[in-house]
């Protein structure tokens, strides 16, 4: 009896272990570690370009800067088909778990991307935290292989400049999981954009060479899963304010003129003032005014006066208030530009305003949801911005005001 | 057999019983009253000067009647015996047997004095602060060392003679009133059941009284330091001192004792706690790190940060062995080096470590046989292992098991292995005390001397399961 019991327990253990254990042992050096994937359409077929890291076999300190990479291109009817076709031309199995960026070719993005991303959610390897960027006016693979920074590999370079979004809100980071959230809710995502730019290489040689870089300024507006256009840098600022993502960035505006009379200036050719936003919060409210839907956008900014080209006497409270209101006006402009573009050009609710209506007026939403886009295009809105300058850098008096000699 | 009155007969009998062994010394002589007296002893076991001055001289010059023997000799310890067997036992223990022709009994005189190692600094349990002396091989010296720590008539030594051929004296030491009588009775019954011909080290006893003799988990604690032993028996444990061994056992043992050192109580509580946390971390590292590395490298590459994975892939490039075999190879090499360094004379030991560590380790990486990260993992594990020397057997074996689990089943296997391991530890008892006390069963009072070492002022209770019930270490009335 005891013996039988032991056998049963042993069987249970063995079965649990064998049925649930991780299968598919693979050595690290059998993998092709993919860091970036570009997805394009080519004659109706999916064209994938993978950036694969070349492991340095020498264990001594690696030569030069960063890793070597190779690019693997393969075609197929679907994404997975293309990935598997890569095994016919590339010797290692592509390992997608470390893929951190999907670059979408413009043509591909315009055709709709939702169907193709099916595989990346079905499969266990790819990470949903990978960023999605659209290659502006280009094929996805055109922006690969460009390393304009100090990163190890071109993929890492692109990844890092996307992450810099936190310092400069003229762009945004947008991951696959966010895309899915929008996609499943029938909302319209705005993803990051990347474009190839060329700058002059700075060196002391006679012949001028060109340096390739990437620029991630702006945002790509999608309608559902189809690309419909781009927001430019100022509109992205407004966009980030509306969706309450503007946490740290600059607002550049013209210095109000009427304040300049009293102080005597050493230099006065500059006209701009810069406020660095330290914290901002946005509250969007939807209301019905005169039986019409009305959107109220209230922005509350805490900022630092960080640059001032025209010698503002910031210790004066009136001047400071005036600067604050100019800053608010500039933010209003950004927001209006973004709204204008979405309403008039894209006719698409990129800010998920419809969601607010759904929450506040569920009955009304049922009526108008089918026709929401045309309602949105004519939506009235007011913008209120309150700027609060908490500090003025390290100085109370700008350096270009002439000081009286005693 | 009863001792005879005939000296010559006695002499022949003793010689016969020792099979004319060359180290038996027998000397017979005439006393003042013209009677014949014989002393016999083992050469080298006794203080000959004392024998001459305190026994032979008074007997020869002053003995008037056989009845006066005990009053004539100058000696503190003397007892009467009547059989040859007792005489033999006495002689073997290093005493002198004294026969007189008019008596059908003999006397055993304790003049024991033989060569022994001086009390020195402990070699295996070194401390920076606190008492440094260590036990030696001689039982009597060891008893003295303990008694000097606990000057109290409640301290009891209880002797047993074990080993059919070696007749080794094994002494239980405990403090009456603190010791748990049930555990004491259990230990005594286990010791009485020992049937063996030889006891050469305390581990001979340890294996007989062990609760888990077939397992790699140590359930008997051993120490070399009298202060540690005193601390243990003052908490209610029982010490087992074995003649001829400097290692003293204590039972019952709980798991956390492996992470404690004597120094914990000689340092400030916060520092002691910090050191215990370090030791606990080292225990976890030394058991699991290699298994986890292999599991990650073989199954869960997505869990490794990208830059690390790239660097690992680069190092693995061109390495002919799979990571599992690579790990086994390295561990084997490491164990060989450890064993070689341990067994060789000290002067050569350093050379072995140097050649093994530097030359072969470096060369293996350069030649691309082993990846550098594997060397880092194995050596980190090895160093962490040395932090808990008392747990070595447990660490070495459980680590190997986890490597197998990790290599075939991934992290899932590691988790399963650890669950089974902890389950097993929970099931063990040492003399009725749960091995994982005070976590399982949970005891709030016991937690004061667990990973956190509370200030001595705050540790008022002895471990409930180990010591006598309701005994307090200290309170206002003490």
pLDDT band at A134 (very low <50, low <70, confident <90, very high): very high
Residues of B with CB under 8 A from a CB of A: 297-302, 306-307, 309-310, 312-319, 322-323, 365-366, 368, 371-372, 407-413, 416
pLDDT band at A396 (very low <50, low <70, confident <90, very high): confident
A26 domain-assigned: no
pLDDT tens column, A48-88: 999 998 887 654 444 445 668 899 999 999 999 999 999 99
Backbone angles phi, psi at A185, to 5 degrees: -90, 5
pLDDT tens column, B233-259: 998 899 999 999 999 999 899 999 889
Residues A167 and A68 in one domain: yes
Q: If you average pLDDT over every residue of chain B, what do you get?
A: 87
Q: Which of A306-310, A330-334, B188-192, B379-383 has the lowest mean pLDDT?
A: A306-310
pLDDT tens column, A365-386: 888 888 888 888 888 899 999 9
Residues A39 and A73 in one domain: yes
pLDDT tens column, B200-211: 999 999 999 988
In the predicted structure, residue B380 carries a pLDDT above the cut 50: yes
Residues of A with CB under 8 A from a CB of B: 17, 20-22, 24-29, 31, 33, 35, 53, 55-59, 62, 67, 95, 97-98, 100, 125, 127, 152
Residues A199 and A290 in one domain: no
Residues A314 and A184 in one domain: no
Q: What is the pTM of this model?
A: 0.83
In the predicted structure, residue B280 carries a pLDDT above the cut 90: yes
Quote the minimal CA–CA distance from B299 to chain A in Å.
6
pLDDT tens column, A298-337: 999 999 988 887 777 777 788 888 889 999 999 999 999 9
Q: Identify which of A15-29, B149-163, B448-462 has the greatest average pLDDT.
A: B149-163
The average pLDDT across A25-29 equals: 82
Mutation for B interface: A28, A56, A70, most B CBs within 10 A: A28
pLDDT tens column, B221-235: 999 999 999 999 998
In the predicted structure, residue A23 carries a pLDDT above the cut 70: no
Predicted local confidence at residue B450, as pLDDT? 87
Residues A54 and A190 in one domain: yes
Query: Is residue A368 classed exposed, middle or buried when 0-12, 13-18 and 19+ CB atoms within 10 A define those classes?
Result: middle
The average pLDDT across B190-195 equals: 91
Backbone angles phi, psi at A132, to 5 degrees: -110, 125
Q: What is the ipTM of this complex?
A: 0.80
Answer yes or no: do B416 and A17 touch at CB < 8 A.
yes
Q: Identify which of B89-103, B259-273, B331-345 has the greatest average pLDDT.
A: B259-273
Predicted local confidence at residue A320, as pLDDT? 86
Residues A127 and A216 in one domain: yes
Q: Which residue has the tokens 């003649």?
A: B243
Give long-range contacts, CB 8 A cutoff, 24+ apart: A181-186: A182/A222, A183/A114, A183/A224, A183/A225, A185/A355, A186/A224
pLDDT tens column, A223-248: 888 999 999 988 999 999 998 888 88
Predicted local confidence at residue A403, as pLDDT? 67
Q: Of residues A270 and A261, which shows the higher confidence score? A: A270
Predicted local confidence at residue B343, as pLDDT? 82
Residue A166, SS3 per DSSP = helix
The average pLDDT across B59-86 equals: 83
Nearest CA in chain B to A125: B302
Q: Which of A138-142, A215-219, A392-396, B98-102 has the lowest mean pLDDT?
A: A392-396
Residues A155 and A265 in one domain: no
Residues A195 and A256 in one domain: no
CB atoms within 10 A of CB A221: 25
A10 domain-assigned: no
- Of A203, A231, A259, the one marking the end of a domain is A231
Residues A242 and A381 in one domain: yes
Is residue A136 within 8 A of residue A194, CB to CB? The reply is yes
In the predicted structure, residue B286 carries a pLDDT above the cut 90: yes
User: pLDDT above 90 covers what percent of chain A?
Assistant: 32
CB atoms within 10 A of CB A90: 17
Q: How far apart are CA A148 and CA A134, in angstroms?
A: 18
Residues A248 and A177 in one domain: no
Answer yes or no: do A21 and B409 touch at CB < 8 A.
yes
A27: nearest CB among B322, B372, B408? B322
B309: nearest CB among A24, A56, A98? A98
A13 domain-assigned: no
Domain ranges in chain B?
A: 7-109, 139-253, 269-427
Residues A259 and A387 in one domain: yes
Is residue B409 within 8 A of residue B418, CB to CB? The reply is no
Enter the tokens of residue B468.
């006598």
pLDDT tens column, B13-43: 888 888 988 999 888 888 877 888 888 999 8
Q: Tell me the count of A-B CB pairs closer than 8 A.
A: 82
The CATH number linked to A279 is 3.30.300.210
Query: DSSP string covering A325-337, please?
Result: HHHHHHHHHHHHH
The average pLDDT across B139-165 equals: 92
pLDDT tens column, B401-421: 999 989 888 898 899 899 989
pLDDT band at A259 (very low <50, low <70, confident <90, very high): low
- Reading phi first (left if > 0) and then psi (alpha if -120 to 50, else beta), residue B455 is in beta
- Of A181, A213, A231, the one marking the end of a domain is A231
Predicted local confidence at residue A63, as pLDDT? 47
User: pLDDT above 70 covers what percent of chain A?
Assistant: 91
Answer yes or no: do A125 and B307 touch at CB < 8 A.
no
In the predicted structure, residue A161 carries a pLDDT above the cut 50: yes
The average pLDDT across A268-295 equals: 87
Q: Which of A60-74, A99-113, A124-138, B103-117 has the lowest mean pLDDT?
A: A60-74
The average pLDDT across B291-314 equals: 89
In the predicted structure, residue A21 carries a pLDDT above the cut 60: no
Q: If you average pLDDT over every residue of chain A, what do you get?
A: 85
Quote the minimal CA–CA distance from B404 to chain A in Å.
13
In the predicted structure, residue B98 carries a pLDDT above the cut 80: yes
Predicted local confidence at residue A406, as pLDDT? 52
Q: What distances in angstroms separate CA A95 from CA A29, A127, A130, A362, B307, one per listed residue?
A: 11, 11, 14, 46, 14
Quote the minimal CA–CA distance from B287 to chain A in Å.
21
Predicted local confidence at residue A405, as pLDDT? 59
Is residue B355 within 8 A of residue B337, CB to CB? The reply is no
Is residue A357 within 8 A of residue A271, CB to CB? The reply is no
pLDDT band at A263 (very low <50, low <70, confident <90, very high): low
Predicted local confidence at residue A77, as pLDDT? 92
Predicted local confidence at residue B478, as pLDDT? 54
The average pLDDT across A151-158 equals: 88
Domain count across chain A? 2
Predicted local confidence at residue A327, as pLDDT? 92
Residues from chain B contacting residue A28 (CB–CB below 8 Å): 297, 301, 309, 312-313, 316, 323
Answer yes or no: do A152 and B307 touch at CB < 8 A.
yes
Structural domain for A125, as ranges = 31-231
Predicted local confidence at residue B86, as pLDDT? 86
Predicted local confidence at residue A404, as pLDDT? 63
- Of A184, A205, A231, the one marking the end of a domain is A231
Q: Which of A108-112, B48-52, B457-461 has the lowest mean pLDDT?
A: B457-461
Residues A246 and A349 in one domain: yes
A17 domain-assigned: no
Residues from chain A contacting residue B300 (CB–CB below 8 Å): 22
Q: Identify which of A22-36, A188-202, B267-281, B429-443 has the greatest average pLDDT.
A: B267-281
A39 domain-assigned: yes
């Amino acid at each position: 009896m005891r013996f039988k019991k032991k056998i049963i327990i042993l069987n249970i253990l063995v079965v649990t272990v064998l049925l649930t254990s991780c299968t598919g042992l693979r050595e690290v050096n059998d993998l092709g570690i993919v860091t970036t994937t570009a997805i394009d359409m080519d004659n109706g077929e999916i064209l994938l370009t993978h950036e694969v890291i070349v492991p340095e076999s020498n264990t001594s300190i690696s030569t030069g800067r960063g890793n070597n990479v190779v690019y693997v291109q393969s075609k197929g009817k679907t994404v997975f088909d293309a990935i598997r076709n890569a095994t016919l031309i590339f010797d290692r199995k592509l390992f997608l778990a470390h893929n951190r960026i999907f670059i979408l070719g413009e043509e591909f993005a315009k055709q709709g991307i939702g169907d193709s991303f099916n595989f990346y959610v079905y499969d266990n390897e790819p990470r949903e935290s990978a960023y999605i960027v659209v290659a502006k006016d280009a094929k996805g693979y055109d922006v690969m292989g460009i390393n304009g920074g100090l990163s190890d590999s071109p993929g890492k370079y692109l990844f890092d400049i996307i992450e810099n979004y936190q310092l400069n809100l003229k762009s945004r980071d947008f991951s696959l999981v966010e895309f899915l959230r929008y996609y499943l809710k029938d909302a319209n995502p705005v993803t990051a954009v990347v474009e190839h730019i060329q700058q002059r290489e700075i060196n002391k040689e006679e012949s001028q060479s060109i340096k390739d870089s990437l620029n991630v300024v702006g945002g790509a507006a999608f309608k559902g899963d189809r690309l419909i256009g781009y927001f430019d840098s100022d509109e992205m600022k407004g966009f980030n304010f509306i969706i309450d993502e503007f946490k740290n960035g600059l607002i550049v505006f013209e210095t109000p003129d009427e304040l300049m009379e009293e102080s005597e200036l050493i230099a006065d050719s500059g006209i701009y003032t810069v406020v660095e936003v330290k914290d901002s919060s946005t509250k969007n409210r939807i209301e019905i005014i005169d039986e019409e839907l009305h959107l109220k956008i209230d922005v509350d900014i805490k900022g630092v006066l960080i640059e001032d080209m025209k010698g503002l006497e910031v210790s004066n409270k009136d001047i400071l208030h005036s600067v604050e209101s100019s800053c608010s006006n500039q933010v209003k402009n950004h927001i209006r530009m973004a709204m204008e573009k979405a309403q008039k050009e894209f006719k698409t609710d990129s800010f998920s305003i419809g969601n607010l209506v759904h929450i506040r007026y569920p009955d009304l939403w049922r009526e108008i949801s089918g026709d929401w886009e045309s309602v949105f295009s004519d939506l009235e809105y007011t913008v209120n911005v309150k700027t609060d300058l908490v500090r003025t850098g390290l100085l109370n008096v700008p350096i270009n005001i002439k000081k009286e000699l005693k | 057999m009863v001792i005879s009155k005939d000296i010559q007969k006695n002499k022949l009998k003793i010689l016969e019983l020792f099979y004319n062994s060359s180290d038996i010394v027998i000397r017979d002589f005439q006393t003042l009253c013209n009677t014949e007296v014989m002393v016999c002893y083992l050469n080298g076991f006794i203080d000959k000067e004392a024998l001459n001055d305190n026994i032979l001289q008074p007997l020869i010059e002053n003995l008037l009647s056989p009845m006066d023997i005990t009053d004539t000799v100058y000696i503190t310890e003397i007892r009467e015996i009547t059989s040859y067997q007792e005489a033999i036992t006495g002689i073997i223990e290093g005493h002198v047997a004294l026969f007189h022709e008019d008596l059908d009994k003999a006397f055993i005189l304790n003049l024991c004095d033989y060569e022994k190692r001086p009390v020195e600094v402990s070699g295996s349990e070194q401390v920076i602060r606190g008492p440094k002396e260590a036990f030696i091989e001689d039982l009597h010296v060891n008893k003295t060392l303990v008694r000097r720590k606990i000057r109290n008539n409640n301290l009891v030594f209880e002797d047993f003679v074990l080993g059919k051929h070696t007749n080794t004296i094994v002494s239980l030491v405990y403090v009456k009133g603190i010791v748990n009588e049930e555990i004491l009775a259990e230990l005594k019954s286990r010791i009485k059941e020992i049937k063996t011909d030889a006891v050469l080290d305390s581990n001979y006893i340890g294996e007989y009284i062990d609760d888990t003799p077939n397992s790699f988990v140590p359930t008997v604690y051993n120490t070399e330091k009298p202060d540690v032993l005193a601390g243990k028996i003052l908490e209610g444990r029982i010490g087992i001192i074995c003649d001829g061994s400097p290692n003293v056992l204590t039972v019952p043992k709980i798991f956390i004792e492996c992470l404690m050192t004597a120094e914990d109580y000689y340092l400030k509580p916060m520092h002691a706690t910090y050191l215990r946390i370090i030791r606990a971390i080292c225990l976890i590292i030394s058991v699991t790190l290699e298994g986890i590395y292999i599991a990650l490298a073989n199954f869960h590459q997505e869990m490794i940060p990208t830059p690390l994975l790239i660097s690992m892939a680069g190092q693995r490039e061109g390495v002919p062995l799979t990571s599992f075999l690579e790990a086994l190879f390295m561990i084997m090499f490491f164990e060989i080096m450890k064993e070689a360094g341990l067994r060789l004379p000290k002067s050569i030991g350093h050379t072995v470590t140097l050649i093994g560590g530097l030359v072969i380790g470096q060369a293996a990486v350069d030649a691309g046989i082993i990846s550098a990260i594997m060397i880092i993992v194995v050596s980190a594990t090895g160093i962490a292992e040395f932090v808990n020397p008392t747990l070595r057997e447990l660490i070495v074996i459980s680590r190997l098991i986890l490597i197998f689990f990790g290599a075939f089943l991934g992290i899932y296997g590691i988790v399963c292995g650890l669950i089974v391991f902890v389950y097993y530890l929970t099931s063990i008892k040492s003399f009725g005390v749960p091995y994982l006390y005070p976590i399982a069963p949970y005891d709030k009072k016991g937690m004061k001397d667990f990973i956190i070492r509370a200030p001595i002022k705050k540790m008022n209770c002895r471990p409930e399961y180990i010591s006598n019930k309701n005994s307090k270490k200290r309170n206002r009335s003490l």
